[in-house]
Amino acid sequence: MPQRMLKPLGRRLAPCALALWAALLWGCAHGSLEGEGEVTLFQVSTIDALMEGVYEGQVSFARLAREGDLGIGTFHELDGELVALDGEFYQVKSSGQVLPVDPAMKTPYADVVRFRPQRVVQLKGTFNVDELCQAIDQELASLNLFHAVRIDGFYQDIKARAVAAQQRPYPKLVEAAKGQGMFRFQDLKGTVLGIRSPLYAKGISVPGWHLHFIDQSRTSAGHVMDLAIKDPKVQVMTINKFAMLLPDKGEFLNSDLVTDKSEDLRTVEKGR
C-alpha cells in the first residue's frame, strides 16, 4: 500500500500528540514500533469524540496501514464502516456496497493492530453475539488488557449495519445512527474481527467487544449487531500497549468529552 505522510496534520499537532507522532516516525525509520513482547493498539481520536459528532478525517489510511493490518473504525464524515483484514482495507457504505479503500482517504476514528494470534480457542455450541463475547471473555487471562480477535467460519446468520455519510452541521452519533443501513446475511463464510477494550477505557474506546464482519467474497460486511455461529474457532491476541493520536483542531477542541455517554453508546452499538 502506498506510503504518504500527512505533513499538514503534523504541523498542527499539540505538543503531546507531536511527541507521539515523533515516536511513531522514529519507529517507522528504525523498524518495528514494538519492542520485544510488546503489542500495540493504535487508535485515532476517542469514541466519545465520535459520539459528539467529530467526523472530520484526521489520518490517511496509508498512514494507518503502517500501524496495523487488522482493525475497525469509520471514514471522513462518518461515511461507512471500516474493515481491515490481512492488510486490506475496506469501506462498507450505508447502501451495503463494499469498496477497497483509497490510501489517501482519511479516518476520524479507527483502531488497528498488527494481528499475530497468540492463542486459538475452540468453542462448542451455537452462539449469538452476546454469548460469543461472554465465552471469549472467560478464556482471557485478564479483562484489564486490550485484546484483538479474529473468527473465521460459516455464519448461519449475521445482522450488521453501516452508518451513512453526514453533512455539516454534524449531528451527534446517536442521531446519525438513526439513518444507518441495516443488513442481514445468512449461510455464508466470512470473518468477524474486532477489539476488546477494558471497562476502564470508557470514553476512550468502546468498552467490551467492538466487532465488524466481512464475508469471504468481500461483498457483504458491516458493524456486527448480532450473529449465529456454531462451534467457532477463535484466534486471540493480547495487547499490552496503547497509542492514541488526538486531533488538535475543529470540533474536537470544544466537544463535551466529560458527560457520560454510555447509554447513547449502547444504543449506537447494539441498537438497544
10-residue mean pLDDT series, the chain (272 residues) = 39 39 37 68 98 97 98 98 98 98 98 97 97 98 97 97 97 96 98 98 97 98 98 98 94 96 93 64
Backbone angles phi, psi at 228, to 5 degrees: -140, 125
The Cα–Cα gap between 58 and 246 comes to 9
The Cα–Cα gap between 6 and 168 comes to 24
Predicted local confidence at residue 37, as pLDDT: 86
- Say if CB 145 and CB 201 are below 8 A apart: no
Q: Give the total residue count for the chain.
A: 272
Write 203-206 long-range contacts (CB < 8 A, 24+): 203/46, 203/47, 203/48, 203/257, 203/260, 203/261, 204/43, 204/46, 204/47, 204/48, 204/244, 205/43, 205/46, 205/47, 205/111, 205/146, 206/47, 206/265, 206/269
In this structure, how many other beta carbons lie within 10 angstroms of the beta carbon of residue 175? 13
CA distances from 40 to 77, 121, 185, 237 (A): 27, 22, 32, 11
- Say if CB 12 and CB 249 are below 8 A apart: yes
Predicted local confidence at residue 122, as pLDDT: 95
Q: Tell which residue, 160, 231, 245, has the closest CA to residue 194.
A: 160
Predicted local confidence at residue 27, as pLDDT: 38
Predicted local confidence at residue 166, as pLDDT: 98
Q: Which residues pair with 43 in a beta bridge?
A: 111, 244
For 204, residues 6+ apart whose C-beta sits below 8 A from its C-beta are 43, 46, 47, 48, 197, 244
The Cα–Cα gap between 237 and 38 comes to 11
Predicted local confidence at residue 35, as pLDDT: 60
The three cell numbers locating residue 42: 493504535
Q: Tell which residue, 42, 35, 36, 109, has the closest CA to residue 69.
A: 42
CA 221, chain centre distance (Å): 14
Q: What is the pTM of this model?
A: 0.86
The Cα–Cα gap between 67 and 150 comes to 18
CA distances from 243 to 181, 200, 252 (A): 31, 16, 18
The three cell numbers locating residue 207: 468498552
Predicted local confidence at residue 271, as pLDDT: 74
Q: Under DSSP, is residue 161 helix (H, G, I), strand (E, B) or coil?
A: strand
